[in-house]
Amino acid sequence: MWHRIRVLMWKEFIELRRDPRLFGLIVVAPVLQLTVLGYAATTDVRHVPIVVVDGDRSEASRQLIGQFAASPHFNVVGEADAPKDVDRYLMTGKAWLALAIPSGFSDALDGHGDAALRKVQLLADGSDANSSGLALAYASSLVGQFNQRRAADAGVVGVPLDGRVRVWFNPQLESRDFMVPGVIALLLLVVTSNLSSMAIVREREVGTLEQLNVSPLGRWELILGKLLPYSLIGFIDVLLVCAVAVFWFEIPLRGSVALLLAGSALYLLSTLGLGLLSSSLSSTQQQAMMTTTFFFMLPMIYLSGFIFPIENMPTVIQWVTYAIPLRYFLVIVRGIFLKGIGWDILWPQFAALASWGVIVITLAAARTKKRG
């Protein structure tokens, strides 16, 4: 049995070596994509373009504008003469936010003018609701700091409440630390499922599937002979992208490397099985890759929690996400990298991945027309 499997594995490696483009897909593409996405895939809001309308032209208004200019979250891109002139900045996208300070602002702060003039107006481009919401939160925080500083300068004693914030696992709140482990899981899905999706259909296209059908190979020997080479490639990719994450992006790996590799093995079982299932359902390699992309990869990316929080999805869709292997591996890889958690917490995710891996491989084997 194992001799026949080794022969088939060697045949797969020869097939891979014949196509030099696959080396780029297997080795270069994951590292390059992780490097690019590691910088690009971020939810941090920095250097938000903001336009100001200073109707007061006072020391107080300049101090407030100076706070925005000094903040790493904002970039003052211009000054409008009146609030109505802000439209041009927001419509063209030159600014996401506008700060309007009314005339008489400074006198009102000192208690000599109309109390209504103490208010400043913040206008936001709501096209990107998430970024605009974060930008408004940062802007409101700066306005609050401005108020506290003026109150302290005036000797006003505030409410004796001092909230001390301590952030665990990601003290600097760097979104990159959260996104890069997720990108690792995403790249493994793309590479391994695409590779295995060509396993059976390639034999069908070149006419060697009939030879395999009349060979002494059993169905499970065929499955193992096809999947084990790609499993080895998958583990190489795991080590490569994890090395890039740790040594290039300096993402902390606080948990067990052995546990991470064990979780990766179960995850690869699911992704390779999905690719093989797609291959057994397709007639050509192009059809197999299209099936893998549109019916497996895209739903997994959208419903795994990688882009959209599962908690924000409708209840029915949340139930659907339990059928997504990527959902469980994201918990594993982020938990091990950032939190250093172990088997006692992650065992439900391991059990789910193992279950889905067995189900998918069994379906792929059932679809593979080979005697058992």
Task: Specify the pairing of strand 97-101 against strand 121-124.
Answer: antiparallel
Residues 6+ apart with CB under 8 A from 23: none
| Whole-number percent of the chain with pLDDT over 90 | 31
Please give the residue that has the higher pLDDT: either 260 or 282: 260
| CA pair distance 179, 14, nearest whole angstrom | 36
Amino acid at 360: V
Burial per residue of 247-258, b for 16 or more beta-carbon CB atoms within 10 angstroms, e otherwise: eebebeeebbee
DSSP three-state, residue 163: coil
CATH 3.40.1710.10 for the 48-153 domain, yes or no: yes
**Residue indicated by tokens 């793309």:** 190
| Tens of pLDDT, residues 222-232 | 788 778 888 88
Domain boundaries, the chain: 2-41+174-367, 48-153
| Tens of pLDDT, residues 7-48 | 777 877 777 777 767 767 777 888 888 888 888 777 777 889
Whole-model pTM?
Answer: 0.80
Q: What is the mean pLDDT of residues 129-146?
A: 85
Nearest to 356 by CA among 255, 277, 261, 246: 277
**Residue indicated by tokens 């920095």:** 46
